[in-house]
Structure formats: C-alpha cells, structure tokens
C-alpha cells in the first residue's frame, strides 16, 4: 500500500459527533440543486437559464465572487462519493463536470490577448465581455475574464473581487472530481483552466505579478499554486509546475523561508502581522505542494515557518486565528478578542490542509496536536445540529470567542459565503488524516469511531467519542499499530491480548502478527486546566478552560461583559455515558464543550483573578 495518510476511500466514520455532522452535510449535498450551481456559468456564456435557479449570497447573479461555491460543491461531492460511494451524488457530480466542460469548450482565442473595455475608475459589469470567442481557450468561470484584466490594471477591491480565488475553487473542484472519483472529463477541464492561467500570466513582468498578489482581497488567489502543483504531480507536465511559480508571493515567501533558520518565530510573525489571514494561509498550502512538485527546499521552509509562527503567535485555543479577517499583532490575543469577529472558519479549514501537508513530510507530534485541536474545537463546532427547513448544513463564518458571543449560521441557498463553501467540504472529510501508513507501521492519531480497510489491514476503532477511550481490533497482514499518546491524556493505558503496550516516541506500540484478530483496549482520562493567552487584558491574566483536548465554554445571557474565574477554581466533571456527553462545573458555572454550544450565548475566555 502507498505510504502516507490512508486514503479516505478506505476509511469510514462510524457513530458519534463526526458521523452526525457528516450525515447533515450529506443531506444538504443531496438537496442542493446542480442547475442552481450552474446558473451563473450558463448566464455568463449566454446559455438559457431559469430565474428560479438563481443562487444568493456571494453567488448572486451580480456578485463579483459568483461561481466560487460551485467549485466547493464539486469538491464536496467528490469527497462524499469517494467516502460514501453514493451513486446519486456521483451522477450529480458527473452532470456538473459535463455541463461545465461543454461551456468551457465555447471559449476561444489567445488567453493573453483578451482586453477589457473597463477601467479601474469604471468597472461597470454592463461593459463586461459577452463573447466567449475572445476569452481565451480553456477559460471557464461564472463571469467573463474582465475581472482578471482589471486586476492587471491594479483595480482595487471592491470594484473587483478576487478573480483568481474564484477560479481556484473551480479548478480544485475539477481536480478533486478526477483524483477522488476518476472522472477523466474533469481532468480535461482542469488542464484547460490551468493552461489558460499559465498563458495569461506568463507574459507579465515579475514585478507586476508581485504587485497583484500584494493587493488586499483583489489579488487574493486562494490556492492557485496548490492546484497547479497538484496538476503537475498528476500529469507530469512541467508547464503546471512553472505555472504554480507564477503565484509565488514575493512579498512574503522569501522572508518566511529565510526566517525558518531562526530559533524563534519572531521574524516570521512580523512578516505576516496585519495581513488578511485567509488570503495568505492557502498560499503556504500551495508552497508545500510546490515543494512536492519541484523538490525546491525554500518552499517547504516557507511553509514550515508560516505554520510555526501562526500556531505560536496568532492561534486561539480553538485553533482559529485572526480578528475580523486579519492577523493582528504577534501574541496580542486577549487584546483582540472581539464579540463575534474572531476565528474565520475558512482559516481553520486551510490551516488543517497545511498541517496535513507538513505532517506528510515529517511526522512531528505538534502537527497532530494542532490538527486535533482545530478539528475538534472549530470545525466540528461550526455546524448547527438543529436542522431547519432552509438550513440543513448551517455553518459558521466566524466562530466567535468573545464575551457573551453567539454563533451565527448560514442557510441553504442565500448564504454562499467562503465559509459556507468550505463548510460543504468540512463535514464529509472527517475520515482524512486519522490513519497514517509507513510500510508495515500504521499510526492511529485520533481516537474517533472509524473503520479502515485498505486491502492489507482491517482496523476498527470503537469509540464513544467525544468520551475518552476506545476498543480497537486489528486483522490482516502483520503490522505494528502505533497509537498516539496525546500530551493532554492522563492515566493513558493501552493493552492488547492482555499485554500492556510499550510506549516509544509518543506512541503505544501494538504488534499484530498476522494471525486472527488482535484486540486492543485504550483508556485515558481528561483533566481540566486553564490555557492562558500570552498577553494580559486590563492587568489581568486571560485564559479559557480546557478538558483534555476540548475547549469548554460557559453558557450565559447575550451581550455580557468579561467575566472572571478564580485562579484556584476546582472543576468537577459530569459524564453521561448513556448520552455520550460531558460537562464541567466550577465556580458556580456549568461548562460544556465548544462543539456543543449551539443556539445559545456563551463565554470562552475569562479574566483570571487571584
């Protein structure tokens, strides 16, 4: 079997919080109409549409980012088909790919030759081109190339809105459809878009591209470098590796790569201070893929340095980052806790992608520690379990951590924001990155209910996640099952066939001889603790309450001011094994996990009093 994270096609989530979230997401993907997601593309190419199919939110027919959610939709469908083998969803995905490819084939001409009648002062959509024969071979978007041409004139946001960002989502959707489901037509479409991008950008001077990628939001390109590097790896075509380099952000990549040599993350922290967070996180995901495609070490250095400084200087306890959509001053976390403007969900989505890419390069415990933190406390907490008539996969944009905050959720058809798009993917991809194979060694990094069967081994994790502990069975070929011993786990014990498992380099080692089934028992406890911000607020230390890997919050009325907790607060656990739930009580308050705090106001951080 291939070394690396075990492909999600071989992993199925079973029971608990993750499975419930997944099932709500699957129901939404089955509900969402393909023709609605094709509406703006057909309208752009002059193909008849039905007004009732028009989507809303950022994908409204006049929206400058229209089409981005269609890319996320294709990626989510591809993930769901790969993991669930759902024939109806596969048919929907194939229909989407085929219809979009038919539109793409209408684009003609030289990509570099397209010009716009608009100017930065007058970018009225009424002046945008309606003639696909001039758009350039391979072009496909839900609007004409005018926004791309206007970016080259340095037109600011919000006269234009991130054309390469939108194009990346579409390109990534096609690549996912090919890699995960094997749809050859999707690879043809992806190569068409990639070639258009390369032919459009290659003639531009390096200085011009550097200025474009430095522009706030207008120059946001998502993970274009990631997708082009993926295509280079898939096809072996060097044009795409060269194309990925066209998106190298000269404003930060060299400085980050150089700062990787530092003993601290201080210099890298200054490089990204006050930048738009989700504009730049995907760029470093792309850098990690550029390293995979080219072997050039400076890309990996930049990605490592970026990850390190984000997690050391900008990360809140749930794994999220930012105030509004920006990084703040390094280490200035308490001072930037806001009522409802922290921790954009897309940032966690992309930080998890970056973390997984880095873990593939070097299996360091700190990567899985972060992955677990953000997955449990932000991603799993971002979907509303209360299904409503028009909100089946209702997800957060920001996941608020301020005093008296309350989560706000998207709806089905009128909230096509960036985080609604990533939210379509988040809850069908829980099976990714649980198991890691290295030859005959298989690492289990997360104790969630899951079944892995990859043709060589069959491993079933029976877990009552989020409650502690698991029962595991291993069969198939001889292997070593390495069970992660988390730093937060108290009284950790693993045994198999009645024998205590030795612990080596942070993993309990289970030896499966290949005959019959090896039964494993894992027990551990959670312990309550404070986790402090690096800075103080109004002279007070600031902390949240952790219980094992979980951020715990206290319900409260809306709009309260900062609350205090005594430094010596004693917490008592309340575990309901029948309901699979837990809580803490302390200082007269009840604390519940962030993933359970829905449709209520809550406190995440407190001032700590002596």
CA distance 76 to 392: 15
Cα 366 to chain centroid distance, Å, stands at: 18
Is the sign of the CA dihedral 76, 77, 78, 82 positive or negative?
positive
pLDDT for the residue numbered 219: 98
Is the sign of the CA dihedral 555, 561, 562, 565 positive or negative?
negative
Average pLDDT over residues 503-516: 95
Strand ranges (E), 403-454: 405-406, 435-438, 441-444, 450-453
Average pLDDT over residues 25-35: 97
Residues ≥6 apart with Cβ < 8 Å to 170 = 67, 68, 70, 71, 74, 100, 140, 141, 193
88: confidence class by pLDDT, cuts 50, 70, 90: very high
First to last CA, the chain: 56
Whether a cis peptide bond, with omega within 30° of 0, leads into 130 is no
CA distance 483 to 491: 15
Facing residues of 471 across strands?
462, 521
Question: Could you tell me the pTM of the whole model?
Answer: 0.97
580: confidence class by pLDDT, cuts 50, 70, 90: confident
CA distance 174 to 176: 5
Cα 125 to chain centroid distance, Å, stands at: 32
**pLDDT per residue over 155-208, tens digit each?**
999 999 999 999 999 999 999 999 999 999 999 999 999 999 999 999 999 999
CA distance 30 to 429: 16
Q: How many C-beta neighbours within 10 Å does residue 169 have? A: 24
CA distance 143 to 416: 17
pLDDT above 80 for 579: no
pLDDT for the residue numbered 443: 98
**Containing H/E element for 11?**
strand 11-13
pLDDT for the residue numbered 51: 86
Tokens matching residue 186: 């999707």
pLDDT for the residue numbered 340: 86
The percentage of residues in the chain with a pLDDT greater than 90, rounded to a whole number, is 94
Is the sign of the CA dihedral 282, 288, 293, 298 positive or negative?
positive
Name the pairing type of β-strands 564-566 and 605-609. Answer: parallel
Is the sign of the CA dihedral 299, 302, 307, 310 positive or negative?
negative
User: What is the DSSP-derived secondary structure letter of residue 308?
Assistant: H
b/e sequence 11-21, b meaning 16+ C-beta within 10 Å: bbbbebbbbeb
**pLDDT per residue over 475-502, tens digit each?**
999 999 999 999 999 999 999 988 899 9
pLDDT for the residue numbered 387: 97
CA distance 12 to 501: 26
Average pLDDT over residues 29-57: 95
pLDDT for the residue numbered 575: 87
pLDDT for the residue numbered 228: 98
Integer-rounded Cα radius of gyration of the chain? 24
pLDDT above 70 for 1: no
**pLDDT per residue over 348-396, tens digit each?**
999 999 999 999 999 999 999 999 999 999 999 999 999 999 999 999 9
| CA-closest candidate to residue 187, choices 227, 231, 236, 248 | 231
- Please give the backbone phi and psi of residue 482, each rounded to the nearest 5 degrees, phi first: -105, 115
Mean pLDDT of the chain: 96
557: confidence class by pLDDT, cuts 50, 70, 90: confident
CA distance 287 to 250: 12
Average pLDDT over residues 392-418: 96
Alpha helices per DSSP H over 105-205: 146-151, 163-181, 184-201
Q: Say what angle helices 16-31 and 87-104 make with each other, to 10 degrees.
A: 50
CA distance 323 to 163: 24
Q: Are 229 and 244 in contact (CB under 8 A)?
A: yes
CA distance 445 to 459: 13
Which residue reads 């999600």 in tokens?
Answer: 8
pLDDT for the residue numbered 324: 94
**pLDDT per residue over 217-239, tens digit each?**
999 999 999 999 999 999 999 99
Q: How many C-beta neighbours within 10 Å does residue 541 have? A: 17
CA distance 210 to 223: 16
**pLDDT per residue over 239-285, tens digit each?**
999 999 999 999 999 999 999 989 899 999 999 999 999 999 999 99
In degrees, rounded to 5, the angle at the alpha carbon of residue 388 between the alpha carbons of residues 383 and 391 is 55
Residues ≥6 apart with Cβ < 8 Å to 471 = 461, 462, 463, 519, 520, 521, 522
CA distance 20 to 26: 10
pLDDT for the residue numbered 467: 95
User: Burial level of 469, CB count in 10 A (0-12/13-18/19+)?
Assistant: middle
Whether a cis peptide bond, with omega within 30° of 0, leads into 28 is no
Q: Are 212 and 219 in contact (CB under 8 A)?
A: yes
**pLDDT per residue over 121-138, tens digit each?**
999 999 999 999 999 999
User: What is the DSSP-derived secondary structure letter of residue 329?
Assistant: S
Name the pairing type of β-strands 470-476 and 503-504. Answer: unpaired
Q: Are 180 and 174 in contact (CB under 8 A)?
A: no
pLDDT for the residue numbered 70: 98
3-state secondary structure of 239: helix
Average pLDDT over residues 53-73: 97
């Amino acid at each position: 079997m291939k070394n690396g994270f075990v492909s999600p096609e071989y992993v199925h989530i079973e029971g608990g919080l993750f499975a419930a979230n997944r099932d709500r997401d699957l129901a939404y993907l089955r509900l969402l109409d393909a023709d609605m997601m094709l509406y703006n593309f057909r309208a752009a190419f002059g193909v008849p549409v039905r007004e009732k199919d028009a989507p809303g939110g950022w994908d409204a027919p006049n929206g400058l980012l229209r089409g981005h959610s269609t890319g996320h939709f294709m990626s989510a469908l591809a993930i769901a088909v790969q993991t669930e083998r759902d024939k109806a969803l596969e048919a929907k995905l194939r229909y989407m790919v085929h219809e979009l490819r038919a539109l793409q084939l209408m684009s003609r001409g030289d990509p570099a030759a397209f010009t716009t009648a608009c100017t930065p002062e007058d970018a009225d959509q009424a002046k945008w081109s309606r003639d696909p024969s001039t758009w350039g071979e391979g072009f496909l978007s839900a609007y004409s190339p005018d926004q791309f041409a206007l970016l080259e004139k340095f037109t600011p946001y919000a006269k234009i809105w991130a054309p390469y960002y939108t194009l990346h989502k579409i390109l990534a959707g096609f690549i996912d459809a090919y890699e995960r489901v094997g749809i050859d037509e999707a690879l043809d479409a992806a190569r068409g878009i990639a070639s258009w991008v390369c032919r459009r950008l290659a003639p531009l001077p390096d200085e011009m591209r550097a200025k474009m990628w430095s522009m706030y939001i207008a120059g946001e390109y998502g993970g274009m470098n990631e997708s082009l590097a993926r295509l280079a790896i898939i096809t072996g075509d060097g044009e795409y590796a060269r194309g990925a380099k066209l998106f190298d952000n000269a404003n930060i990549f060299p400085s980050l790569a150089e700062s990787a040599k530092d003993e601290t993350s201080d210099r890298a922290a200054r490089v990204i201070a006050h930048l738009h967070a989700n504009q730049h996180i995907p760029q470093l995901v792309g850098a990690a893929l550029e390293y995979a495609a080219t072997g050039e070490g400076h890309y990996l250095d930049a990605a490592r340095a970026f990850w390190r400084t984000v997690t050391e200087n900008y990360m809140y306890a749930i794994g999220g980052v930012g105030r509004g959509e920006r990084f703040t001053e390094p280490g200035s976390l308490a001072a930037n806790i806001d009522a409802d403007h922290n921790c954009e969900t897309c940032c966690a989505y992309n930080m998890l992608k970056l973390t997984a890419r880095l873990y593939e390069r070097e299996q360091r415990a700190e990567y899985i520690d972060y992955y677990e933190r953000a997955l449990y406390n932000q991603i799993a907490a971002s979907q509303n379990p209360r299904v409503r008539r028009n909100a089946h996969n209702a997800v957060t944009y920001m996941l608020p951590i301020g005093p008296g905050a309350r989560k706000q959720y998207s709806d089905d058809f009128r909230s096509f924001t960036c985080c609604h798009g990533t939210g379509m993917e988040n809850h069908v991809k829980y099976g990714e990155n649980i198991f890691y194979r290295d030859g005959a060694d298989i690492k289990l990094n997360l104790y969630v209910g899951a079944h892995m069967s990859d043709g060589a081994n069959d491993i079933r994790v029976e877990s009552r996640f989020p409650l502690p502990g698991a029962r595991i069975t291993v069969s198939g070929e001889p292997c070593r099952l390495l069970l992660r011993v988390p730093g937060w786990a108290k009284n950790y014990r693993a045994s198999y066939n009645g024998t205590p498992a030795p612990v080596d380099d942070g993993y309990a080692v289970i030896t499966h001889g290949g005959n019959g089934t090896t039964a494993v028992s894992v027990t551990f406890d959670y312990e309550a603790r404070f986790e402090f911000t690096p800075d103080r607020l109004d002279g007070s230390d600031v902390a949240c309450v952790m219980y094992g890997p979980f951020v715990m919050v206290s319900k409260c009325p809306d709009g309260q001011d900062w609350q205090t907790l005594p430094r010596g607060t004693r917490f008592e656990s309340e575990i309901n094994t029948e309901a699979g739930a837990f809580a803490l009580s302390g200082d007269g308050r009840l604390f519940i996990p962030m993933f359970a705090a829905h449709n209520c106001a809550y406190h995440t951080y407190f001032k700590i009093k002596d």
